[in-house]
Amino acid sequence: MKLKKIIACLLCAGMLSSCANNTTETTTTAAETTPAITTQPENTNTAISGEIRDISSMELISELTAGWNLGNTLDATGGSGLSSETSWGNPETTKEMMDTVKAAGFNIIRIPTTWARHLDDENNIDPEWMDRVQEIVDFTIDENTYVIINLHHEEWNNTFIEKKDATVEKMKKVWSQIAERFKDYDEHLIFEGQNEPRKKGTDLEWSGGDEECWEFVNATNMAFVETVRNSGGNNAKRHLMIPGYCATSDPIGPKMIQLPENDDKIIVSVHAYTPYSFALSDTPSSKFSSKRKNATRDIDSLAEMLETSYINNNIAVIIGETGARNKDNLESRVDWAGYYTARMRKSGITCIWWDNGSVKGNGENFGLLDRRTCTWHFPEVRDAFIKGAKGEIDIENLTADNAA
């Protein structure tokens, strides 16, 4: 995957898990035609069914601490039918995995989900796939744990203006089905309209976009919001996440994203692997020390920009994907994880670690949880990330201004 260095946002995809196991990668095949969605089964999870609290998204994120992504799993695009879940090398998701994540101290779990391979010619979602998504949501969510589901590696929402009308209609059709299935869930379930919509395969892909890009993303975001809001049940009060172009953390994002009027249950979705040279680049090894002059500059600037553009205007922000690649630099990653989340918490921003299950070898090694043994590869990184998110790390004496 070739990325532009000028921004720190990423479509984290396609890396196989390097953990030893007997599972082989499933060969990609053509998507099968599937029947129309069936009747919604009864929601028996009493912890998250029933009345939804009428609170703003700013109030909601004050309850959120550290987050974790079930990456390269339901968002995988290989295989067909239910086999796509394991087609990128990660094992089938279990309740034990999710219980392990929650027991570690994470209280929000993002479940990236790709629907494109599970749609028929009329954009009806395969009932088996919908049931599987709901099953994972149900054994993840509870009264203390929040869950995000989204549209992830969809190829049909690329931001080419001539596709706008068709994409808007497809967005409405897909989200109307998801919204119907989950309409009785309370505020512990958050919908994220799309992941990183962008002009794939062009010079604009990671550049921040242009007028056509912004128009397209705003139109599809609004289609998502309007569809959910009009879908009944608790969805009129559901918290909804929307990204700017490619979920960029570049300052251009706040200038171009359109937010619904008179809706205090909207969260801006941002992806930020910052500083790029440390957290995301292919540099063989890199170091980070929060006590070194200028080391935290990019993190501080990002927090200040998000705070000024959104938080100070009562607009909630979640950094839905972040992390630092394993480059055999454990001490630096621990320091980075603690500082990053502590700094964002200071600005009222929630962070979610991108865990794709990959730990070693070439590629984007963001894995923390060994999903086959339900143990942690780097508990020190995990703990620092959570402590910072809970406000348990004092960064006042770690800032560059105080550095020797």
Q: Between 255 and 107, where is the model more confident?
A: 107
The amino acid at residue 164 is: K
Q: Nearest-5° angle of CA 372, CA 374, CA 376?
A: 110
Least confident span in 25-29, 266-270, 368-372 = 25-29
Q: What angle do CA 186, 229, 218 make, to 5 degrees?
A: 120
Three-state DSSP state, 177: helix
Output DSSP code: residue 378. Answer: -
Q: What is the spatial distance between Cα 347 and Cα 252, in angstroms, rounded to a whole number?
A: 19
- Told to judge if 205 belongs to the known catalytic residues of this protein, a careful annotator would answer no
* Catalytic annotation present for 196: yes
- Cα separation, 106 vs 98, in Å, equals 10
The one-letter amino acid code at 42 reads: E
Domain positions in the chain: 58-402
> What is the average pLDDT value for the chain, to the nearest integer?
88
For 309-335, what is each residue's pLDDT tens digit?
999 999 999 999 999 999 999 999 999
pLDDT at 9: 38
- A 10 A CB-CB count for 140 gives 24
Q: pLDDT tens across 35-64, in order?
A: 343 344 555 565 577 899 999 999 999 999
The 10s digit of each residue's pLDDT in 289-312 is 999 989 999 999 999 999 999 999
Which residue out of 321, 364, 392, 396 is catalytically annotated? 321
* Residue 252, pLDDT score: 87
Look at residue 277 and tell me whether its pLDDT is greater than 50: yes
Superfamily of structural domain 58-402: Glycosidases (3.20.20.80)
pLDDT of residue 287: 94
Q: How many residues does the chain have?
A: 404
Higher confidence at residue 36 or residue 157? 157
Report the distance separating Cα 209 and Cα 214, nearest Å.
7
Query: What pLDDT does 104 receive?
Result: 98
Catalytic residue among 85, 187, 192, 196: 196
Give the distance from CA 348 to its chain's centroid.
Answer: 18
- Beta strands in 132-237, from DSSP E residues, in sequence order: 146-150, 189-192
- CA pair distance 68, 351, nearest whole angstrom: 8
Question: Is residue 342 predicted with pLDDT exceeding 80?
Answer: yes
Tokens 């964002």 belong to residue: 344
Closest CA to 343 of 266, 251, 284, 274: 274
Neighbours of 211 (CB within 10 A): 9
The predicted pLDDT at position 285 comes to 78
Residue 24 has a pLDDT of 29
